[in-house]
Structures are given as C-alpha cells and as structure tokens.
Amino acid sequence: MTVSGALSELRDPRTIRARCDRILEVGLRGELEHFAIDLAKLKAAAHFTAEVTRERYPSLEVPEHGRMTHFDASGIRRSGQLMAAIAHHPQAEQSRLLIDVVLTSVLLDAGAGTSWHYSEPCANLRLGRSEGLAVASLAWVKSGALSSRGEPYEVDAEGLLRVTEEQLATAFQVGPTNPLVGLPGRLHLLHGLGRALTAHAETFGPQGRPGGLLDYCVKHCTVPSSAALSVSAPFLLGTLLAKLSDIWPGRLTLDGEQLGDVWRHAALGGASGAHGGDLKGEAADLVPFHKLTQWLTYSLIQPLRVAGVSVRALDQLTGLAEYRNGGLFLDSEVLVPKHAGVLKEAHEVGSELVVEWRALTVALLDRLAPLVRSELGVREDRLPLVAVLEGGTWAAGRRLAATKRREAMPPIRVISDGTVF
C-alpha cells in the first residue's frame, strides 16, 4: 500500500471500528495484557445507561452528542442566547459563526483535570470539566478575542495566531489555585488551527475562518431527489483530518505527516483484511481513534443544519474513545483489570494500556447500543449511536464515577497534554 493509501485508511472510520473490534476479539480470547472482558455484565451496563437516558430525556427525543448541548450546562440555554445574538445574520453566516464557535470549543475540550473550574459570574455558577470548558470557550469567543476584527462569535486565523498563553489562561481563569491540564498543549492547538486555516484557503476561505467549511461542504454536497443538501459524515471527518493534520503536537508520523490520535498496540501485529487492515510495515499495528475530530464531526451537525445542510451516514462513525465512556465499562465491570497497576499507576496517553482501554471502549459501545435501544423500546433510526452517546453512555459513565470516587474522577489516571481527551 502507498503512503497516501495508508493515510487514507487510517482516516477511514471503518478502520477505527475494525481495528478496535480486532482488539476486542483478542481480549475475548483472554490474550490481552491489561484487561479481561466480561460480556455478561454488558446487559446491566445497558440497563443503567437506559435509565440515565430516560431520566435526562423523558420523551426519548435525544439530540446528537455535540458541543452545543454542553453550552447549556446547568439548564441555562446559552445555545439559545447564542442563536438569538446571531439571528440578524443570513442563515449561511449564522452557520459559519456557529462553526467558528463549535470547532474552536471542541479543540479546547480535552480533559481539564479535577482541580480546574470556571466561574460564570452572571449565573453564579462554578463549572468543571467539559461543561466548564464549553462555557468558558463560548464566553471567550463571544468577546471577539479570536477575531482579527474583534467581532463577537467570529474566529479567524489572524485572531488565533495572536493568542498568548497569558490570554488563554485569563480566559479560562487559570491560576495557582485553579490549574488547567495541558495549557501549553491547548495553545499549540489554537496556533496550529490558525496556521491550518491559512494554509487551506480552498477549504476555509480567504478569511481563514473555520466557518468557511460550510461553503466547502456545499460545493461537495450531493443533491438527492428531495433537493436537500447533504454531506456524508466520513467525508466531513476525512476533510477535517486531512486539513487539520498539522495541528497535533509531536505524535506518530507517516512519511512526515502527523497522524493525530493514532497509537500502537501489539495485538494488531499481522492484522489483515479490508479496513482492519491492509496496513503494512510500520503502520501494521496502528490503532486510529480520532476522538476529538469525530466529536467535532458530531458537533458540526447542528451548525450545518442551520444552513440547510444535513450530515448523512452518521452510523459509519464510531463511539468516542474517552474516559467517561471507558469508565462506564470499567465501573460496571464489563472490563476487568488484569493487574494492580491498571488502577494504581498513572499512564501516558500513548501507553499500550490506555490504547487497549480506548479500543475496547469503541468496540463495546457498538455492542452496548442495541441493548440500550432494547431497554428503551426504540429503533436505531430513532436512537442512533450518536444519540446513545448523548443520552447516554457519557452521562452514565460520569454518574457511576461519582458513586465510586471523589469528584467523579475517572477510574484510570491518564497523563494528558490537553490535546487528546
């Protein structure tokens, strides 16, 4: 396989799913080093997830698992306030502004740690983790600080490139008593995004705005008989992975190109078969996850919808390999640590243990989703995987963590740089 072919395969969600499935198969044979798997416990995990889903969404009208829902943390409709603030713009520009906001916010979404919180004075709220990061980033973009013109909610390359670490720390209220994990890593992503927006004007437009992605998608839309514009989720994911590949810090590369959220695991040695894969040589043991970029793809559904563009083939994307989903399986004992070091030690994000945990999480989410639907009595078209995540596994994982550890800490300590999860 050529290098370009290998890169394309590593960016294909079918490869994510197939390679994670392969690691699950190895685990079910009892041959993984760090985790055993007890599928008998999966039904109880699905029952708990269904209970959480019904409690959070009694009508079972569950939205997609996207960043916009996080803006409404603690029941405050900040997303509605955002829509009202940009309502005077044409629909296409509303969509571009929402993409500006969402894309920037998602890139800042990697784990904040348990010590950091964001205080929202107008609401007298103190928020941590992903919700805190969402509200903090929304307030920052609203201020115009990421726009070269100082425009509220607008983000462009020049605005991103001039951000300093001090400004980022101020926006997120970081200080000696309020530390945020991976502050330099987050700044690296913002600057990398600014450079990528400039380098790919064909995708992000002459202004170098994330929102330029709307116009790129419209150009590549299919127009079915209904005359509704649509773009496929794999196309959107592949575009984001290709155009933003250079923003990721010091990770694995293939022929000089950054791979992003892709890591090695020995269980894949000698893997074969379409999308499972055909990768040869140094790429044979690689496991792609692309957690933040898949999360971004899910998060762009609502902004694109504002401009009349739907995202189809969402079922081809995977569940998200992050610690709340992974924690659900550990805390419900579907995953069983094989040695004391799993829970007692801190692990690098690229360690084989963490890669194993994340791969098993992706594969198990596919097996959990139909059980959750069965518990709720709904079909897949009403509760696709992206809604199971929202309903769902993400909240259930956090709730279980809160019953077992202080501050709902994840079961495994991961040494993060603020750019993965």
pLDDT digits (tens, 9 = 90+) for 42-80: 999 999 999 999 999 999 999 999 999 999 988 899 999
| pLDDT band, residue 269 (cuts 50/70/90) | confident
The confidence score (pLDDT) of residue 275 equals 43
* Within-domain flag for 93: yes
Residue 395 lies in a domain: yes
Looking at per-residue confidence, does 284 or 150 come out higher? 150
In a domain, 341, yes or no: yes
| Residue 420 is assigned to a structural domain of this protein | no
Rounded Cα distance, 294 and 291, in Å: 5
Sequence-distant contacts of 345-350: CB under 8 A, at least 24 apart? 345/413, 346/413, 346/414, 346/415, 347/412, 347/413, 347/414, 347/415, 348/414, 348/415, 349/263, 349/414, 349/415, 349/416, 349/417, 349/420, 349/421, 350/251, 350/263, 350/264
Neighbours of 157 (CB within 10 A): 23
Total residue count of the chain as it appears in this document: 421
pLDDT at 273 over 50: no
pLDDT at 233 over 60: yes
Give the model's pLDDT for residue 124. Answer: 84
Distance (Å, whole) CA 314 – CA 65: 12
Q: Could you give the number of structural domains in the chain?
A: 1
Which residues span the domain enclosing 47?
Answer: 3-415
Query: Does the residue 226 lie in any domain?
Result: yes
Residue 421 within a domain: no
Residue 136's identity, in one-letter code, is A
Tens digits of per-residue pLDDT, 85-129? 999 999 999 999 999 999 999 999 877 777 899 999 787 889 988
Q: Is residue 219 part of a domain?
A: yes
Q: What is the mean pLDDT of residues 393-405?
A: 94
What does DSSP say about strands 413-415 and 346-348: parallel, antiparallel, or unpaired?
parallel
